[in-house]
Structure 1
Amino acid sequence: MLFLYYSVTFACLFISLQDSVYASNIASRLARRTARHINGLAKDLNVALDVVLFSAQKQPQVQLTTHSQVVFCKPGTGSTSTGIPSASSTRTASSVASSSTGVAVSTPWKLVEEHSGSSFFDGWTFTNAPDVTTGGVVNYVDSGTASSNNLTQITSAGTAIMRVETTPVVTGNRQSIRITTNNVYNTGLWILDAVHIPSGCGTWPAFWTNGPNWPAGGEIDIVEGVGDSTNDQATLHTIEGCSLSSTSSSALGITGTTVTSTDCVSTGGGCGIRSDSTVSYGAAFNSNGGGVFTMTLNSSGIAVWFFERSAIPSDITAGTPLPGAWGTPFAWWSSPTCNISEFFGFQSTIFDTTLCGQLAGAVWSDSGSPGQAQSCATRTGVSDCVTFVQNNGAAMEEAYWEVNSVQIYQIPS
């Protein structure tokens, strides 16, 4: 019994010492949030503390009927940072993931909406109208037309396909897909796992979220680009009063590069940030096996990350995401210069692929952006976007989305 007493006493002292070490590590992390190489169990505890300190409460979820959907415009052109939150979205606090050290850590995120496999298209509304918002030369079609014309498909691998019409020559608009989720969220974590993004001259695809009464409800472009671009661009569009505090990547705490303007007002094209990854969009993304895009939205700010297929964090794969462990995002808009709760609300989630229009058509003769060393006018030998798109259906063969899943998480209140 005496041996057992001393054994228990020794164990308690050891645990107490360990707790002191852990507390010291936590204090160190809070003092030096930009340190990127604190690992082991201390890192896991720091991540959990980040979540507690920065995660926003879940906001009311609202279901919009088809009749209450609004017309969304898209006029835009084209961390280790101390304030980056572990954003509010979904899997319960009892969910457990494994850290890089093999130690189990919990996550507060709860999965509230998922689209994957044979049920991928459940819970979306198909737009059935011409693209009048951006001037694109497409007609968005309803679910039945899309299926019968082979514009949508669930593959044998369980991926969802959304195509543009490839008829050799058309006299008007090409058929395309635009889908919008029926559910909306004020805060959350969005995760898109995609295999293929539409690419090629004339294409302008996007994966984005949007609030009601555009631009009053705010717009967050998570994946967007045109033509032969290789780098994704994330952009905010708002009413007046939201901005980036600087054009300096280091000052903003991002890995990406600011483009367009620091003013996010929609009439000026929004405030865009281009990813530093040359395989985050278009043909380069597709040939690299695709990857994962994530976006967090809460009162502290909006952050966007991109992960190549070979570098997807294990917590995402496990379904127990921990944004605080993902490092510096390529895009980050913080609340000190943009009141997120004021400018963004009731976000629907949207896929679309338009052609030409106010962006792809406007930059048809431009060159010099990543992946676009030659202009589309030079590469195709056609002087304008619309003429090319209408007369070259074969060029639309790569104008399709292939998606493994879309997941939306929240932190329960």
Structure 2
Amino acid sequence: MVHLLRAVLPSLLVAIVNGATYSLSDNIVGSDFLSTFTHQAIADPTHGRVNYLSQADALAKNITYANGNTFIMRADDTTVLSASGPGRNAVRIQSNAQYTTHVVVTWPAAWEVGDNWPNNGEVDIVEGVNGVAPNAATLHTSSGCTMPSSTTQTGITTGTDCNAADNGNAGCGVQCNKANSFAAGFNGAGGGWYAMERTNSAIKVWFWSRTDSTVPSDVKNGASTVNTSNWGTPFADFPNTNCNMTSHFGPNNIVINLTFCGDWAGNVFTSQGCGSDCVSFVNENPSAFTQAYWDFASLAVYQ
């Protein structure tokens, strides 16, 4: 999940995997997001200090904006909130389409989740709170899914038990080895690309900064085909060694959201040096959320 995160996303590409090479089959640009994603005006499942708006309300309040090759979703940055009223206006959108075996190439991504959580799994591609780098990729599942402590990856394993019922739903995570993979370092570099490949044998996540000379050409140029076998070692590798991917992961939707405080960010707000009370901070400091937004140019589907 993403909390207190500014991210600029020139492109979001989703690929349905039939092998190592995938071809472009669809492209979603600007206002197309309004018909291919649903604004979820729901209570935040992570109990954040947020008020998710419907599409009509988000458009009317300019919390969502779509035009040409631009789709933006942001947080309210002008309103001082009443302690007894609803949370800060923001947006949570979910793709109408669901994906099983697939690849996602984004600048950057958010997360994916299935119905009947956690039984169909959750894959967090960009996950962090309170501006603390680096990024972490994390899986959350039902019981019976664990990861090895050592595998072929460049990142650092921070948890091996994927069961959402254990360890306060910490999941099995891998911390990226690049400081500019999240928050100020990510923004300062002008963004970057995330890629996630999900098959029945493994889930893998890659990251390249915009200034990285090793960005694969098919990723960098939004090519008509992509080939994951040329992408090198991922920063996160979740193999099926002790986790049956087909039973722990079903069809997943892409979810992109902004939320504040809640189960994770709120609990570590003080320990990360952000202040004494996350909810009060969100209520009283609207200008702190001026840079809390997502900006997409396109979403392309590969098969």
Q: Confirm whether residue 314 of structure 1 aligns to residue 214 of structure 2.
A: no
Decide which of 231, 235, 253 is 2:138's aligned counterpart.
235
Encode CA deviations 1:93-141: one digit per residue, 9 max, x unaligned: 9xxxxxxxxxxxxx7313345433342333111101231x111011111
Structure 2 unaligned regions, length at least 5: 2-13
- The equivalent residue for 2:151 is 252
Q: CA deviation at 1:90?
A: 4.2
- SS state of the match for residue 304, structure 1? strand
2:76 to 165, 169, 179: 165
Match of 2:107, as an amino acid? D
Query: In the aligned structure 2, how far is the partner of 1:225 from the partner of 1:326?
Result: 24
Q: Distance in 1 between matches of 2:88 and 2:71?
A: 20
TM normalised by structure 2 equals 0.87
How many residues are paired up?
Answer: 281
- Give the whole-Å Cα distance in 1 for the aligned partners of 2:127 and 2:56: 27
* 3-state secondary structure, aligned to 1:189: strand
Q: Which has the higher strand share?
A: 2
Displacement of 1:272 after TM fit? 1.0
Amino acid at match of 1:273: V
- Tell whether 2:172 aligns with 1:276: no
TM-score scaled by structure 1?
0.64
- The residue identity in structure 1 corresponding to 2:32 is S
Partner amino acid, structure 1, of 2:165: T
User: Are the structure 2 counterparts of residues 278 and 155 from structure 1 closer, same or farther at C-alpha, using a change threshold of 3 Å?
Assistant: farther
- Confirm or deny that 1:174 pairs with 2:73: no
Post-superposition CA distance 1:270-301 (Å, at most 9, x none): 11111111111112211211111111011110
1:336 to 228, 241, 248: 241
Aligned-partner Cα distance in 2 for 1:277–1:149: 36
SS at match of 2:35: coil
Partner residue, 1:150: 62
Matched, 1:358 2:239: no
1:119 aligns with 2:1: no
Q: Distance in 1 between matches of 2:16 and 2:22?
A: 3
- Cα deviation, 1:230-272, whole Å, max 9, x if unaligned, reads 21111100011111111xxxx311111122x211000222111
Is 1:389 the equivalent of 2:288? Answer: no
Larger Rg: 1
Instruction: Say if 1:292 and 1:116 are closer, same or farther in 2 by CA, change over 3 A.
Output: farther
Percent identity over paired residues: 38
Pick the aligned partner of 2:199 from 295, 298, 317: 298
Question: How many angstroms apart in 2 are the aligned matches of 1:337 and 1:146?
Answer: 43
- 1:325-361 Cα distance to aligned partner (Å, 9 max, x none): 1111111100112111111111111101100000110
- CA distance in structure 1 between the partners assigned to 2:15 and 2:43 by the alignment: 33
Return the letter of the residue paired with 1:342.
Answer: S
Query: Following the alignment from structure 1 to structure 2, what is the Cα–Cα distance between the partners of residues 293 and 117?
Result: 20
- In structure 1, how many angstroms separate the alpha carbons of the residues matched to 2:64 and 2:27? 18
CA distances 1:142-181 after superposition (whole Å, capped 9, x unpaired):
111111111112366x232110111241113111100001
Indicate if the aligned counterparts of 1:364 and 1:376 stay in contact, CA closer than 8 A. yes
In structure 2, the partner of 1:130 is 43
Q: Aligned runs of 1:76-115 on 2, under 5 Å?
A: 89-90=15-16, 108-115=21-28
> Which is further off, 122-131 or 345-354?
122-131
The letter of the residue matching 1:182 is N
Structure 2 counterpart of 1:346: 251
Q: Is the 8 A contact 1:184 1:349 kept in 2?
A: yes
Residues 295 and 139 of structure 1: is their aligned pair in 2 closer, same or farther, counting only changes over 3 Å?
same
User: For the residues of structure 1 that align with 2:288 and 2:245, how far apart are their CA atoms?
Assistant: 40
Q: In the alignment, is the contact (CA less than 8 A) between 1:221 and 1:234 conserved in 2? A: yes
Q: What one-letter code is carried by the residue in structure 1 that aligns with 2:262?
A: G
1:91 and 1:110 in contact (8 A); partners too: no
Q: Which has the higher helix share?
A: 1
